[in-house]
Every structure is written in structure tokens, then in C-alpha cells.
């Protein structure tokens, strides 16, 4: 790498707005150590982040392997998110057959979502420190137990406790899939798969009460929760068999430390050093071989033990709170939370009760009403 190339790349990076990366090599003068995408119409796309040479680096996985890993993330998202909205259409049957009041059920929903949010602080740190695969599997396994016992929680205290546990152990669904997608896909590919994750999460808000309403008609309200447990058991088997660990501590060969101030003397010295290294290499009595990277077997991929790394738990847990020191981040968070999450959640959680109490809808009628939202979600996805 010449001094001129280092200077050109440094100037280019300095011109980029904060938080952005250089993706398109329009002039063909990108960093010489950058890698480009291989494929029709993508030869000018710079791969960000830069992958290592290791074939077990998630960025270097085959397309089929990446799709399989992404399907596990989507499976987890759908099966864990469905229980959070399953009771929306069956509030009336639950009130009639238990001692729970409307206030108890609404409070349970609110506190559940509170733990969905704050639980991320703990689970995100554990996933980055000890591995994402064990966190995913443990989350699903606990959901199976929580949902299987949920129909027995018919008093205010037990119902609230069940909702708290459901929110806390299901919290990874709110943030961890996004990190998994960024582990697998390059920056120019991520929008597609992040959108698929977001769509799956949004779909469940309407799909869950639709399914619950129809299940209640044929099998009773308890089976709406038991079916959620069964679906999580299916997700556990699928993810155990096909989900791989995507944590990867990527290391690159160090780049030469060269002054970026061009001068005739510097150029002559660099060319002289380059010539000396070439002569020295030609005098070696052996030929350097290729690095043999260890490959994982299928049984290796089933392991729930990630490699050891320095303990960063406290630093990772504290990191989200540092965002409160930036007014722009706080404002964006409040606007997104209030307009996109809170209002939609309140509307979605109460509409079933309003349909049944004010308009006399049966649970089947409520389910049919929610089906409209499901249809629109599929139209929006297209």
C-alpha cells in the first residue's frame, strides 16, 4: 500500500457523516485491503464489515447456511412473540371462568411488556459474553414451562407473576435477533433481513389474537396458552438442530503503520524497503503454505458453549444507559416508543375487549376482526 493510497482512503473516511460507512466503490479507488461483493451487479459493493479469512466466520458462510441461520432467528421471533399477544381476544372468557378482573389482565399485559424491555439489558450482555445460541435456547425452554402452567394462574398474584416471567425470559426477542442478523449479513444485505425480522414481530401482534380467538371457540381459552407452549417446543427443536452460534471475535492482519504525509524521501524509503523484502523472500528455502482453518462438524455446531473471552458483562449492561447522555438519542427513543410501540400496543391490547363488551362480538368474531390486520401485514410485506 502506497502513501498516496493511505492518504486517499483517510480523506475519504473523514468526509463520511458520523455513523455511516463507504459501501459503493464508484471510482474503483477504494481501499486496496477492502473486499468487494461477488455477484451480478454487486462487484462495486464494498463488504462492510470486512470479513476475515476464516470460513467459519459467519460473514463467510454460504448463502444456504446464512438463510438457515436466519430462519432460526425468525422462528424464534414468531414463536416467542405470539404468546405476548395471545390473550387479547379471550379476555372475556378468562374473566368469566377465573377470579381475574379486567384491571388484573391489563396490568399483567403492561408489566409483561415492561420486563420485555428491561430484560434486554441482562440477556443482551449474557448473549454477547457467553453466546447467543444458549440464550435463545434457554429463552424458548423457559417459555414452554411458563406457558404450560399459565392456565393455572387464575388469581391476581399468580397471573402477574406469570406475566413477569413471560416478559423477562422472552425479552431477547426484542433485541437479540437484530444483532444476530448483523452477525451474519453484510451492511448492504442487512436491510432485507432486518425488515423480515421487524415484519415477523409486527405480524404476531395481530396473528396471535386471531389464532387464540378461533382456538377458544373449539377448545377453550386454556388451550390458547397450551398451544403457545407447544409452538415454543417446536421452535426449541428446530433451533436446537439448526441454529448456530454467531458470536465471532474477528481479527485482521495488522496494516502497515505508514505516515500519511507524502514526501519524496518517504516514497523513496518505502520503495527501498519493498525491494529489500522482495529479495529476502526470494532467498527463503521454503514456500509459505496456506493457512488451514479448522472447520466445525455438525456436532460442534450443536454445542451451547461459546469460546472464552474477557469478562465484559458490566460494561455491556452499562452501555445502553450511556445513550441517555445524548439528547437526540433520548428524543428518538421516546418518539419511537410512544408513537410506534406504546400506542399500537395499547390499541391492540384493548380492541378485543371493546369488541366483546361494547359490540357483543364472540371470540370468533374478534378473531375475524384481527385477521384484517394479518392480511394487511402480508400486503405491506409485499
- Looking at residue 22, its pLDDT comes to 75
Positions in the chain whose pLDDT score sits under 50: 1-10, 254-270, 274, 277-287
- Looking at residue 260, its pLDDT comes to 38
> Could you tell me if 81 and 198 are in contact, meaning their C-beta atoms sit under 8 angstroms apart?
no
- Looking at residue 26, its pLDDT comes to 66
Query: Who's near 85: CB < 8 A, 6+ residues apart?
Result: 204, 205, 206, 208, 209, 348, 349
Convert the pLDDT of each residue in 279-308 to its tens digit.
444 444 444 556 778 888 999 889 988 888
What distances in angstroms separate CA 294 from CA 19, 246, 287, one per listed residue? 34, 16, 21
Q: DSSP assignment, residue 46?
A: B
The region that residue 25 occupies, defined by phi over 0 for left and psi between -120 and 50 for alpha, beta otherwise, is: beta
- Looking at residue 1, its pLDDT comes to 42
Secondary structure element (H or E) that encloses residue 213, with its range: helix 190-219
**Burial of residue 278, with CB atoms counted within 10 A of its CB: 0-12 exposed, 13-18 middle, 19 or more buried:** exposed
Query: Who's near 362: CB < 8 A, 6+ residues apart?
Result: 217, 356
What distances in angstroms separate CA 202 from CA 93, 137, 154, 297, 348, one per listed residue? 25, 22, 28, 36, 11
All domains of the chain in start order, with CATH: 1-10+23-47 (no CATH), 61-247+302-381 (1.20.1250.20)
Query: How many whole angstroms separate alpha carbon 9 and alpha carbon 112?
Result: 49
Amino acid at each position: 500500500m502506497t502513501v498516496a493510497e493511505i492518504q486517499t482512503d483517510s480523506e475519504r473516511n473523514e468526509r463520511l457523516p458520523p455513523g455511516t460507512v463507504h459501501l459503493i466503490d464508484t471510482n474503483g479507488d477504494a481501499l486496496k485491503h477492502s473486499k468487494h461483493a461477488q455477484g451480478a451487479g454487486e462487484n462495486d459493493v464494498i463488504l462492510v464489515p470486512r470479513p476475515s479469512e476464516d470460513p467459519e466466520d459467519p460473514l463467510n458462510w454460504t448463502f444456504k447456511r446464512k438463510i438457515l441461520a436466519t430462519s432460526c432467528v425468525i422462528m424464534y421471533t414468531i414463536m416467542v412473540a405470539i404468546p405476548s399477544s395471545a390473550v387479547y381476544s379471550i379476555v372475556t372468557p378468562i374473566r368469566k371462568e377465573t377470579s381475574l378482573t379486567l384491571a388484573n389482565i391489563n396490568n399483567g399485559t403492561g408489566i409483561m411488556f415492561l420486563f420485555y424491555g428491561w430484560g434486554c439489558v441482562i440477556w443482551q450482555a449474557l448473549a454477547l459474553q457467553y453466546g447467543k445460541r444458549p440464550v435463545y435456547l434457554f429463552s424458548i425452554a423457559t417459555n414452554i414451562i411458563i406457558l404450560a402452567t399459565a392456565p393455572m394462574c387464575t388469581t391476581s398474584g399468580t397471573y402477574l407473576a406469570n406475566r413477569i416471567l413471560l416478559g423477562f425470559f422472552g425479552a431477547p426477542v426484542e433485541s437479540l435477533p437484530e444483532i444476530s442478523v448483523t452477525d451474519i449479513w453484510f451492511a448492504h444485505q442487512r436491510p432485507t433481513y432486518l425488515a423480515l425480522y421487524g415484519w415477523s414481530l409486527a405480524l404476531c401482534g395481530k396473528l396471535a389474537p386471531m389464532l387464540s380467538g378461533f382456538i377458544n371457540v373449539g377448545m377453550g381459552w386454556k388451550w390458547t396458552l397450551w398451544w403457545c407452549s407447544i409452538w415454543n417446543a417446536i421452535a426449541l427443536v428446530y433451533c436446537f438442530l439448526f441454529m448456530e452460534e454467531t458470536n465471532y471475535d474477528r481479527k485482521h492482519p495488522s496494516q502497515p503503520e505508514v505516515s500519511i504525509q507524502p514526501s519524496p524521501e518517504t516514497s523513496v524509503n518505502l520503495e527501498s524497503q519493498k525491494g529489500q523484502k522482495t529479495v529476502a523472500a526470494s532467498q527463503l528455502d521454503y514456500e509459505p503454505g496456506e493457512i488451514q482453518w479448522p472447520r466445525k462438524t455438525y456436532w460442534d455446531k450443536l454445542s451451547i458453549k461459546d469460546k472464552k473471552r474477557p469478562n465484559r458483562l458490566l460494561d455491556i449492561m452499562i452501555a445502553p444507559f450511556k445513550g441517555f447522555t445524548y439528547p437526540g438519542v433520548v428524543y428518538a427513543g421516546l418518539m419511537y416508543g410512544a408513537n410506534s410501540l406504546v400506542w399500537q400496543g395499547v390499541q391492540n391490547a384493548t380492541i378485543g375487549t371493546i369488541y366483546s363488551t361494547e359490540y357483543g362480538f364472540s371470540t370468533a368474531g374478534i378473531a375475524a376482526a384481527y385477521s384484517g390486520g394479518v392480511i394487511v401485514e402480508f400486503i405491506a410485506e409485499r
